[in-house]
A and B are shown apart, each in its own frame.
Chain A
Amino acid sequence: MQEQEPTVFIIDDDEAVRDSLKLLMQSVGQRVEVFASPAEFLASYDENRPGCIILDIRMPGMSGLELQSKLNEMHCILPIIFITGHGDVQMAVQAIKDGAMNFIQKPFRDQELLDLINDGLKLDSEQRKELLEHKEILKRLATLTEREREVLKHVVEGKANKVIAADINLSQRTVEIHRSRVMEKMGTKSLAHLVRQVMQVKDQVEL
């Protein structure tokens, strides 16, 4: 599943644009899917498929910006590259504030777009890797007992075993045992790595 080939998802209401972009993608051997509207894209959206989105900012019905905020709500991590026209400054600013990766202004050169797509696919793959790591860390954290979590919390705060022992009323030897179980369960031998793991998921879990 992880090795899935990335796809460029193109969403534009203009058929001529869709066709030419599709051709461009195919000419460089890039897997591509085109959609005439945000609704059409949402209907087939699958969060497990890697890639990036090329999105027209102006469309009848649901606009590009509306699709972006919908995707944000859905925690979609696909990087978005907006296609904007001349004079769309306020919309482009909004799009970037809302987390769009980049934008391209019409008319553009093919290579310009291809470069942006390269960046997009790279970003997506990095984000997915990170997400996978987070999941793994969370999974490991979930196997800790309450005591082990407590010890971990103190360890991450940088306290020595002796201090932790006094803080939570255990013998130093018991703290040492908990600590080594924590290291084992978290799959690490280094304190620095342990701390880094906890820091990586600190927004998602409280010790």
Chain B
Amino acid sequence: MNVTMSYNRSVFILNNDRHTLNTISEVCQRLNIETKTLGSGAQLLAELDHEAPLCIFSTSKLADMDSTALLQHIQQLNDELPVLMVGQSGEVHCAVNAIKQGALDFFTQPINSRRIQVILQTLLAKDHEQ
């Protein structure tokens, strides 16, 4: 499986609703980034053992663990991995905790594709620098 057209690292998307998923996928396609969709926190953590993605877009409400725990696990594996949370507009508490826990940002649904694009471009530029 080493035939890949893209030089970019892929983006992991965790458990998001269809609109969020489509928006992120579209932006990634434009930027020539592959995406990998994961169904649960456990699956994501297992995947991180094999691959270091460019970043992770995760829903704030996971079925198998709470988002704070997820962030902690991710940080233990790789504390420089950017995590972007997607949640509801009422989740002030959750958003603040996520940022304190080291998430790069917290978006409310519906997410704005321009903001996603700006973030991804910034991350790509940083990644290529290194």
Q: Tell me the A residues contacting B by CB distance below 8 Å.
A: 84, 86-90, 92-93, 96-97, 102-103, 105
Residue pair B95, A92 in contact (C-beta under 8 Å): yes
A-B contact pairs, 22 of them (CB 8 A): A86-B90, A86-B92, A87-B89, A87-B90, A87-B92, A88-B92, A89-B87, A89-B89, A89-B95, A92-B92, A92-B95, A92-B96, A93-B95, A93-B99, A93-B105, A93-B106, A96-B96, A96-B99, A103-B92, A103-B96, A105-B92, A105-B93
Residues of A within 8 A of B91 (CB): 89
In the complex the two chains form, what is the Cα distance from A92 to B106 in whole Å? 10
Find out whether the CB atom of B87 lies under 8 angstroms from the CB atom of A97.
no
In the assembled complex, B108 has its CB within 8 A of some CB on chain A: yes
Note all chain B residues with C-beta closer than 8 A to A90. 108
Q: In the complex, what distance in Å separates the CA atom of A93 from the CA atom of B89?
A: 12
**Could you say which residues of chain B place their CB within 8 Å of the CB of A96?**
96, 99-100
Closest A-chain residue to B103, C-beta based? A93
A97 to B106, CA, bound (A): 11
Measured between beta carbons, the chain A residues less than 8 angstroms from B106 are 89, 93
Bound complex: CA A90 to CA B85 (Å): 12
Most chain-A Cβ atoms within 10 A of its Cβ — which of B89, B92, B105, B106?
B92
Rounded to whole Å, the gap between the CB of B41 and the closest CB of chain A is 21
